[in-house]
Each structure stands twice: as structure tokens, then as C-alpha cells.
Structure 1
Amino acid sequence: MAVAIGSVGCSQAPVADTPQLPLASAFKEARGPWVSAEPADNVPRPAWWALYGDPEMDALQQQLLANSPDLGSALARYQQASAATDALRAAQSPSLGTSLNAQRIRQSERRPLRVLGPTSPDYYNSGTLGLDFQYELDLWGRVRQQVGAGEALQQAAQADLANARLALQARLADTLIALRGLDREAALLRETEAAYARAAETIGRRHQGGIASGLDLARAQNQLASTRSQLRQQQAQRALLEHAIAALVGANASSFSIEPKAVEVAMPVVPVGLPSTLLQRRPDIAAAQRRVSAANASVGVARSAVFPSLVLGAQAGYQSSDLDRFIQAPNLFWAIGPTLLVNLLDGGRRKADISRAEASLDEAGQNYRGVVLTAFQQVEDQLALLSQYGEAADAERDATAAAQRSLDLASNRYREGVASYLDVVAAQTANLQARRNALDLDTRQRRASVQLVRALGGGWSQP
């Protein structure tokens, strides 16, 4: 017994060892003026969306935090994990129970070892009031490791909650930026529609005067109708994004609306930092690491099951057949002593439990590696998109300027009668497409920056 008591607190869990991965000294795709290498760690993480300078985004983010059903579900899962951990902690404390039993008994006349012998009454009363105390000495750390596993799972659930919050916030910001991009594109299409309508009206008058051909008029009318069609298609896409935002913030899509605004969303500078800091910032990596710790503790729980358990117990109370004089000294009883429980034969169940726990630890380790590798992939993906979109935007601005010059020249040549209206139509189409491409690239840059913030774990401001 002394040896056993001296072994209290011995852990059977393997040494905690988070899977190691090779880390680069810097992100490969981190280049260009739209990223910075210095993280702003002093900025509160929840306010990263303020970098985009849209007050409506801030209001919607607050509504998401208050009303999102997905976020509420994640919070409920964390609360379940917290309650489960509290239940495991209770095993570290003694248990004390009480019971009260009162019966009227008729005993068999031929009962073996009949109470008080053959002269005892067939009918008698029985009353018992008792207290039962139990406390398991955690000799091999089984209970402590169970609590450790529960605490790690609770921390993983908390990280899952943070990850769900970040994912929903990023999805909302991404969707709203896409919607604002469509608003800017709609303004361009309306402007173009008005210009094409004026051009078609002018060609119509020229046609009536015999100056322009019917072919020129048909081409002008085709340009106008095609632009109107593009505008209606764009408005349909905007409606879907608006409905998606309503679902994200927990609002009814039938009564939810966002006023169209053709405004440019600010392009933030997102501090990237070093690859090693990514392991500390991303909540999904933290959750995976906590699950490795929980699986490690579960191995210790399985291994400790092969050792005996020692329970200290005590009972005390009153017991009597005379219920009128129940609480009296002669009716007092008590018992105290340890109980040693040893499992001698289980058909290999404990060995199988150990193998299963070790396999679960291996699985958690591989899941951790997968989450980390995916995190690095996501950061590099978004950095590459930002880099290439930035270069593409510069080229697209040149293309837009060239398309505008081409349209001006084609329009002047047509008015001077040295070019056909087909040249004007081709120049109009190229100019509109170049301007739409430029707006689309602006939107894609900003959406990529949102995904970069999410990939980095969120929470920076402009340096």
C-alpha cells in the first residue's frame, strides 16, 4: 500500500510531442507593395474588417456576431465541451451520498437463517438512513489524464469557435466586397447604356437623313440591347449576394436589403510576418494541436487501466426495525476501509484500448500536419493572387487607356466619314470590356486580401 500511495501522480501518457514540420524563413509569394513583413500585434483581432473603410461592413459584422445561427451553433458546441470537462473534473473530488429506506416486510416462514430464529415475527418494519463516502486515489494518473484530455478538448472547441467566427466574418466581408464590386460595375453599365442610347439615337437621326446606313443603326441598337442585358444579369448576381449576406447575419432575406453604392473599397496592407508565427495565430491550427494533446492524454488513460484502482470508502447511519425510536445510539452503524480493484482477465480488451488510443494519437498528429500544410498553402495562394492581380491591374489600366484612345479615334473617324460604324462598335466593346476587367481585378484583389487575412488568422491594421 505504501508503494502504491507513493506512486500517486505517476503519468502513463507518452511524452507530448507535437509533429514537427519544416518551416521556411519567409513566405515565397510575399512580394509587391500590397503586403508588409511587419505584423501589428498590438491591434485587437476582432476589428480587422475595419481596414476596408466601410461602415456598413462594420454594422453587418456586429449583426453577424449577435444573430448568426452558425456562430450560435459553434458557441453551443463549446459550451458542451466546457460542461463535459467540468464533469470530468468532478471525478477528482470525493463523492458523498445519502439514502433513506423505510419498509414493511413479511419474511418467509422457511427462510434460511430466519431473523431471530423461528420465534421471530413474520411481519416487521425496517428503516435505514445512511451516508456513503467514496474517494478514488488517483495512483496512476488516470483521472488526472482524463481531466487533461477534457481540458484539451475544451480548448480545441474554443479554438473551433474562434475559427468559425473568423470564417464567418471573412465570408461576410468577401461577399460584401463582391457586392460592392457589382455595384461599381452596375454604375459603369448604366453609364454605358446611357451613352449607347445617345449614340443609337444619333445614328437613328442620321439614318433618317440618309447619312447612316441601316446596318449602322442595327449595330448601334445591338450594342444598346446587349448592354441592357448585361446590366440585368449583373443585377441578378447582386440579388443572390444580398440574400447570402442576409443568411450570414441571421436576417430574413425577404425583408433584408443593402442600398447600392458605387464606392471603392479600401485596399489594406496586410502584414504577413514570418511563417513560424502562422502556427500561433490560426485558430484551426490551435484546435488541431489541442486535439493532439487530448489524444496523448487518452493514451495515458488507456495505459493506466492495466493497474489496480484503490477506492477509500466509508458508510455510516442508523438502522432499526423500530421506526418510533429510529435516531438513537444503539441503532448507529458505520464501516470504513479501502477497496482494491484488480482486473485479472479481460480477453485482451485493455490491450486493444491502448492500441486504439495510440492509433487515435497518430491520427491526431497527421490531422495536425494536414491543417498546418493547408494553412501554408492558403497563405501562399492568396499572396500569389495578390501579387499577380496587382501586376494584372497595372496592365489592365494601360489596356483601358488604350481602349479609350481607340474609341475616341474610331468615333472621330466615323464622324469624318473615313471609317465604318463597325470600327466604333469594336472599339466600344473593347473599351467596355477593359473597364469591366479593371473593376473586376480591383474586386478580386480585395477579396484575395480578405482570404489572406483569414489564412493568417485575422487581426491586423494598417502599419
Structure 2
Amino acid sequence: MSFHITRPLLYTLLASQINACMMGPDYIRPNLSVPVEFKEVKGWKSAQPRDNVQIGNWWEIFNDARLNELEVQVTQGNQSIQQAEAQFRQAEHLVLTAQAALSPVGSATTTVNRFVAASGQSVAVSGLRNLFGTALSLTWQPDLWGSVRRQIEANTSNAQASAATMQALKLSSQAALAAAYFQLKTLDAQKSLLDETAGAYAKTLKITKNRYTVGVAAKSDVVLAEAQTESVRAQAINLGVQRAQFEHAIAVLMGKTPAEVALPALPLDVDPPAIPVQLPSELLERRPDIAAAERQVAAANAQIGVAKAAYFPTFSLGVTNGFQSGFLDTLISQSHRYWSLGPAAGALTLFDGGAKNAQYKQAVDNFDASVAGYRQTVLTAFQQVEDNLAALRIMEEQAQVQLKAVRAANEGLSLTINQYQAGTVSYLNVITAQTTALTNQLTAVQLQGSRLSAAVQLITALGGGWNLQMIPNSEQIGGEIKWSDYLIIPMLDQGS
């Protein structure tokens, strides 16, 4: 069969596939009820637009050079992020796999037969015979009901969801490092405070011993002073356990072993920054987890079309062109050429025990579940923003009050020590004043660390500078397709 015979038929089939209908509903984003403003934003000091430096490297808003260095290493070395990147590439290749189903499948066959014709048969050549053959075959199943195109749509949405999930993992890993980093600095500040306090207690102990030597203080005062001093030193040593754990966590987040990372003691010299808070409606475009959930809804919607198309008959067409001869040297010749159009087949399932109905209902149920999951993700996002807005606002007020408490406790301690030296109060009063002063100072330091952690969590809840435009569109999914991708042998990049 010459090509000019089959070409009009192929063009007709291609045109019919392009213009064929698609089963299932077209995707419409689920409706959401979005508030006009955040509840807890009232009284919140939002940054001016010029202060919005959290786009991209959001951690730079803290103006901490060491944090900037660590965050860059997280983006480059975190193994969970690399795993997510590989899973995204896998999702992209699933799109290419689905797209391949729109094209015909070509195959080449070569056959060699050596046989003896059965006795009694009327054959041109009796006895031992050879039969050589070679053929090129083309099979194609047109996507008349849109099953393949719906699968491409579903795989594309899944790949986009994978891209958003990868970005969400990057954001959470970066936030986890920032939180661990600020907790480590908080512990260093607490240890510095405890060491300084232990030094002050040691001086008080020396005074008490001198008073005991001259007979104006009891032995019990010396014992209490020693116990107070050693207790503070023990607290300072105990902080080393938590500090080591945070340092190890930072190392793993950067993709390194704990032995490779050693961070020196760091002062807590960072204040919570003013964080820009956009409108609630913009939150839907700034959270990668919301984008991932929405894309999963789109994928589930497309799967309904795939399940619905399975009710309709499938058609396939085969074309073969080859040569067959009893002699190998004359195989490729016009006289030994043959062709066939077919088999052309259609298949329709008449009974399957309810399997297709069950699959269709499963697809609808999966869509409903995806919609509910999407809406729950949005609700959780609003809750996280509100929680951290409230935390920062309330803790800022608490910090101002706590500062007054620290000043009052320190002043009270100084007065009590003077009174003790004058002999007007007992040493128990000194211990009480020391404990009160230390407790308030430690609370102030812990509050500073909590405010920094809440700032990190708020930035994370707001999307960390991410936006919906960062999701690759359907044309970008799969990356650049090379000619080698159409070969039937793997052509991997170097290092794969």
C-alpha cells in the first residue's frame, strides 16, 4: 500500500481526535468564604511597603548575617528538598507519559522460519523451506472521548501540586532552621545570664562567709548561699543538652552530619521585625500548600472525565507494511512486498460486575474529598496567621510589662542585699530577692526568643514571599523536550 492511500485516512482520524468531545466536567475552582481583613490585625503594626524585604530570601528581614549563611545551605543541601525536587521531576515525566498516548505506536519486526510442509499438502515447493520476513507496523487508538486528554490534565495538575508541595517543603525547612537558630541564641543568652548571675552569687557568698567569720552571720547562711550559687551553675550546664539538640537539628536541615557543624555562642541581639501583612484574599496566592491543595482538586476533577470516558467504546487501527520471501537476498524487493490495513477494531464493555460504576463513583468521591481538603487547608492557613498575629501583638505588650518587672526585681535585690549587710533582714530575704530577679530575667530572655519564633511562624503562615505565579504552567511542565526523548532507548544525562 502506498503512502498516498493512507495519508487522507490518517489526517481524518487526527482531525476527529482533535475535535472529539471530552467527558467529565470542566474544572472550576471551589468557592471560598474569605474575610475582608484578619481579626487579629487590629492594633498590629504592619510594615510599610518599603520594608517588605521578605520576597525571595524572606529571612533577610531579620538582618542576621549568620542566619543568612545557614539558610542558603538549607536550600542547597537539605535532603528532603532534594527528594521533593526529584518527585516533582517524576510528576513531570508522568505528564509526558500521558501525552505519549495521543501518538501512534510504531514497531519493527523481523521473522525467520525454517519448516517442512506437511505431507499431502499442495505446495509450490515441497520439503525443507525457509521463510524470511520484515515489517513496519503502526497502531493507533484515537482519543475520541477525551480519556487521554483528561489524564494529561490530571497529571499536569498533579505535577503543579508537586511543584507547590516542593516549595512548601522549602519554606517549612527554612522556617525550621530559623526557629532552631533563634532558640539556640535564646539558650546562649540564658546561659550568659546564668553565668553572670552565678558570678554575682559567688560575690554574695564571699560576703556571707566574711560575715560568718566575724560572727555576725550564721553557718546556715553560708550553706544557703553555696546551694544558691551551685544551683545556678547547674542550670547553666543543663542548657547544654538543649543547645546541642538545636545545633544537631540545624546541621541535618543543611544536609550535614552533626559532627560537621559547630556554632559558637551567639548573642540574642535580634528584635522581631515589622512584618508586612497583606489582605486575606492575597493569602490564597501566597501559600504554596494552598496552591498544592487547589491543584489536587483540579486533578481529581479531571479523573472524573477519565472514569466517565471508560463507559464508551474504544477504537483502534493498525497499518502494516513489510516484505516476505523464502530467500534472504531477495527479501527487500518490490515483488515480495505486502501491506495490510487493520485490524481496525472497536470494543465496548457490556458487563463488568459494576467495576466502571464503582470507579466513576470513586472519582467523584475523591473530588469531593479534595475539595474538603482544599477548604480545610485554607481555614488552617487563616488560623495560623491569626494565631501568630495575636501572639506577636500580645507578647509585645507582655515584653514591655516584663521589662518593668525585671527593673523592679533588680532594684529590690540591690535594696535587700544592702539591708542584709546592714543586718536588718535575714539571708532568706536575699535568696527570695535573688530568685525573683533571676526568674524575671530568664522570663524576659525566653519571651524575646518566643517573639522571634512567632515572627518566623507568621512569615511562614503568610507564604514567605512565595506567590502563585511561581507554579509552572501546563506548557512549562516537563521542561524542554529533546529529540532523544522520543527514542526507544534511555538517553540519561551525565551523572544520572
Shift in Å, 1:53: 1.6
1:263 aligns with 2:268: yes
In the alignment, which residue of structure 1 is the partner of 2:110? 100
RMSD of aligned alpha carbons: 2.3
Equivalent in the alignment of 2:469:
none
Distance in 2 (CA, whole Å) between partners of 1:220 and 1:30 is 49
1:209 aligns with 2:237: no
Question: Once the 2 structures are TM-superposed, how far is the Cα of residue 327 of structure 1 from its aligned partner?
Answer: 0.5
Aligned 1:281-430 pairs, distance under 5 A: 281-336=286-341, 338-430=344-436
**Shift in Å, 1:405:** 1.4
Give the distance between the partners of 2:41 and 2:295, measured in 1 at CA: 29
Equivalent of residue 254 in structure 1, options 245, 259, 281: 259
Structure 2 vs 1, CA of residues 306 and 8 (structure 1 numbering), >3 Å: closer, same or farther? farther
Paired with 1:189 and 1:7, the residues of 2 have a C-alpha distance of 75
User: Contact (CA 8 Å) 1:40, 1:271: kept in 2 or not?
Assistant: no
The C-alpha deviation readout for 1:206-247, integer Å capped at 9, x for no partner, is 211212221221221121011001101112211111111111
- Per the TM alignment, residue 33 of structure 1 is displaced from its structure 2 partner at its CA by 4.6
Answer yes or no: is 1:447 the counterpart of 2:453.
yes
Q: CA deviation at 1:118?
A: 5.8
Q: Distance in 2 between matches of 1:6 and 1:92?
A: 9
Separation (CA, whole Å) in 2 of partners of 1:60 and 1:377: 29
5 Å-filtered alignment, 1:236-247, equals: 236-247=241-252
Separation in 2, partners of 1:328, 1:434: 99
CA distance in 2, matches of 1:322, 1:41: 84
What is the TM-score normalised by the length of structure 2?
0.87
Whole-Å separation in 2 of the counterparts to 1:459 and 1:215: 60
Q: 1:192 aligns with which of 197, 213, 238?
A: 197
**1:205, 1:23 → 2: CA distance?**
70
Other-structure match for 2:141: 136
Distance 1:425 1:271, change over 3 A: same
The question of 1:83 aligning with 2:93 is answered yes
The percent of aligned pairs where both chains have the same amino acid is: 36
Cα distance in 1 between the residues matched to 2:255 and 2:381: 29
Structure 1 residues 273-312: Cα deviation after superposition (integer angstroms, max 9, x where no partner): 1111111111111111111100100100111111222334
* Alpha carbons of structure 1 residues 173 and 141: separation in structure 2 relative to 1, 3 Å: same
Give the drift of 1:100.
1.5
TM-superposed deviation, 1:108: 4.3
> How many pairs were matched up?
454
> What does residue 478 of structure 2 align with?
none
8 A Cα contact 1:34 1:386, kept in partner? no
Change (3 A) 1:122 1:378: farther
CA drift at 1:452: 0.9
Aligned equivalents of 1:33, 1:157: Cα separation in 2: 35
What residue ranges of structure 2 are gaps of 5+ in the alignment? 1-8, 467-496
Q: Does 298-307 or 95-104 show the bigger shift?
A: 95-104
Question: How far is the alpha carbon of 1:107 from its aligned partner?
Answer: 4.5
Whether 2:26 is the aligned partner of 1:15: answer yes
Q: Say yes or no: does 1:229 pair with 2:234.
A: yes
Deviates most, 4-13 or 188-197:
4-13
- Structure 2 residue 440 is the aligned partner of structure 1 residue 434: yes
- In 1: Cα distance, 2:273 partner to 2:31 partner: 33
Q: CA, structure 1 residues 272+97, in 2 after alignment: closer, same or farther (shift >3 Å)?
A: same
Per-residue deviation, 1:449: 0.8
Distance across 1 between alignment mates of 2:43 and 2:218: 51
Whole-Å separation in 2 of the counterparts to 1:336 and 1:363: 47
Distance 1:343 1:447, change over 3 A: same
Deviations 1:394-421 (A, max 9, x none): 1111111111111121112112221112
* 1:8/1:140 contact within 8 Å kept: no
- For 2:58, which of 5, 23, 48 is the aligned residue? 48
Q: Which has the higher contact order (CA 8 A, sep 6+)?
A: 1
Contact 2:24–2:302 (8 Å) recurs in 1: yes
- The reply on whether 1:157 has 2:167 as its aligned counterpart is no
2:470 paired residue number? none
> Is the Cα contact below 8 Å between 2:52 and 2:276 reproduced in 1?
no
Single out whichever of 382-391 and 331-340 deviates more from structure 2.
331-340
Measure how far apart 1:346 and its partner are. Answer: 2.6
Question: C-alpha displacement at 1:263, in angstroms?
Answer: 3.2
Alignment gaps of 5+ in structure 1: none
SS in 2 for 1:100: strand
Contact 1:39 1:273 in 2 (8 A): no
Counterpart amino acid of residue 86 in structure 2: A
Q: Distance in 1 between matches of 2:310 and 2:21?
A: 13
Deviation of 1:313 after TM superposition, in Å, equals 2.8
Residue identity matched to 1:58: N
CA shift digits 1:328-378 (9 cap, x unpaired): 111111122543333333332222221111111111111111211111111
* SS of residue paired to 2:19: coil
SS of aligned partner of 2:56: helix
